[in-house]
Amino acid sequence: MRRMCSPRATAGLALWALALVAARPASAQLNVQAYSIDNFQGGQCGGGDRSWSEMLGNWYFGMTFFGFHNGTRFWVDGDFNRSLLCDPDTGLSDCKDYKYADSADAVMIGFHGGDSGKHWYGLMRKLAADGKDCNITAPDAPGNGQLFLGDVEAEFFHMSSCNSMNDNNMPNTWRFFEDPVDSPGNGRRLHQATGFHGMMGIGSGYDVDYLLFSMSAQFASIKDAWMDTMYHPEMANVKCPVAYAVGTSKNNCFTRIDHESYHNVYSDPSAINYYCYYYYDKCDPASQGPFTPPE
């Protein structure tokens, strides 16, 4: 079993934490949660095993250990099915995102993901209560999809999953930033999501990326921190991060994505009229073509 820190390191990190806490701008601590699947082969839905929890653990550790934010849940494997991520307004009786993925301010997920051609979907470890569905599915049109975040608590949603931000899905990605039933009434919406165009990588070499992301996003914008730390042009299979936000206008959207950090959190978008995103020019990962924004 891996350990994160030796006692000596812990003392050093505590000093660092003290320095950070003393200097950061006054703002509320975020509620932080992470959800990952490492062991797919022991589940019911197929897929290869990956060490997602190590990578997410570094982000969670960076967010929580230093004392900035409150880590309230780190879920690994177990009965991981769509109920942790799907919204009850879908009409699906097992959906409880209000207790899980939509119950924290900053959430990171880690598991395999696919692209329908119009939306991302994630591979779960266990079947849903209906005994049929092994996926969590993002919406691509009014009336479909299961993933609707932000109507309860979530502001930042980090997707460590293949195809989670594919270029062709940009026109529909904003649809999971709100719950069409609850958000118009309560005004609550997701602020920003981050993910990958095409195939991403999982392994020990990426652990430091997730740690640096958590550190940098306390000072720089979350978008900048994600893009800076997750891009790997030096690899044979390039890794292509994307950061995405919404706003009432073009300017509102860019202002949000350019300025929001974990310690500079804006109020929820009052409507989604525009979406905006950052990507690497012509970034060409395995399993997808070069990133090309849809017209």
Partner 1 sequence: MKRLIRAVPFAAAGVLLAGSAPAQETCPGFRDMAEAAVPTAAGDREVMARLLGVKVGAQLSQSFDPATAEKAVGDHLHPDAGCRRAGAAPCFYRNRISGSVLHLKLPAGRATYLNPSRRFLGARGVDNPVTEAEAQRLALAGFAGFGVPAAEMGPPFVRALMAATQDAALKTKTQILKAEVHVNVQRHVEGTPVFASRLMAAVSAKDQIARLYVEWPDFSLLPGLSPAGTRPRPAVVESVVEKMGADNPCGSVAHVMAHIAYVPARLADPQEEDNGGAEGENAGAFVPALVVFAVPPEARDGEVQLGEEQFVVPLLTPPPR
Give min distance, CB of 92 to partner 1, in A: 19
Please report how close the Cβ of residue 131 comes to partner 1 at its closest, in angstroms. Answer: 18
Stretch that binds partner 1, among 89-97, 115-123, 139-147, 187-195 (CB under 8 A): 115-123
> 64 vs 48, 67, 80, 266, 272, CA distance in Å?
29, 5, 23, 21, 31
Q: Is 289 in the site for partner 1 (CB under 8 A)?
A: no
Between 67 and 91, whose beta carbon lies closer to partner 1?
Answer: 67
Distance CA(126)–CA(102), nearest Å, equals 20
Q: How far is the CB of 2 from partner 1 (least distance, A)?
A: 4
Amino acid at 118: K
What is the token pair recorded at 51?
Answer: 């060490």
The tokens describing 265, both together, are 């959190």
Cα–chain-centroid distance for residue 80?
16
Whose CA is closest to 120, among 211, 281, 244? 244
Residue 121 as a binder of partner 1 (CB under 8 A): the answer is yes
Q: Rounded to an integer, what distance in angstroms lies between the CA atom of residue 111 and that of residue 80?
A: 11
Residue 61 or 68: which CB sits closer to partner 1?
A: 61
Give the C-alpha distances (Å, rounded to integers) separating 248 from 189, 251, 259, 274, 275: 12, 8, 16, 6, 9
Closest distance of CB 20 from partner 1, Å: 7
The footprint of partner 1 on residues 82-111 (CB under 8 A) is none
For residue 269, give the DSSP letter: P
Q: Which of residues 46-75 bind partner 1 (CB under 8 A)?
A: 46-54, 57, 60-61, 64, 71-75
**Among residues 89 and 284, whose Cβ is nearest to partner 1?**
284
Which of positions 195-254 make contact with partner 1 (CB under 8 A)?
A: 198-206, 208, 212, 215-216, 219-221, 224, 227-229, 231, 233-237, 246, 250-251, 253-254
